[in-house]
Amino acid sequence: IARKFRKQGLASFMLEEILRDLEKRKVKRIEVFPKRGLKLSEDELWTGPEEMFIKAGFRVIKDSPTQPVLAIRL
């Protein structure tokens, strides 16, 4: 998301839409790997804040200081 459009809830909105679509497609489980406490380079992919996934119903299944694993069942 371009910097000028951040902090408007767009990532959360897109995540909810993606989860709805995957549920329609009969996907049963999703895992995500947010980065924690790392400084990312400009060209490195950022998966979004861990808190966004927690608010969407994901749970930590493997904790890590730098890259926890979160999952949700649909």
pLDDT in tens, 25-71: 999 999 999 988 777 676 777 778 899 999 999 999 999 998 899 99
Report residue 62 as tokens: 């493997």
Alpha-carbon dihedral sign for residues 46, 49, 53, 56 = negative
Distance CA 6, CA 69 (A): 24
Residue 69 and residue 62 in contact, taking contact as beta carbons nearer than 8 Å: yes
Report residue 16 as tokens: 């909810």
Give residue 49's pLDDT. 87
pTM of the model: 0.84
Phi-psi region of 65 (alpha: psi -120 to 50; beta: other; left: phi over 0): alpha
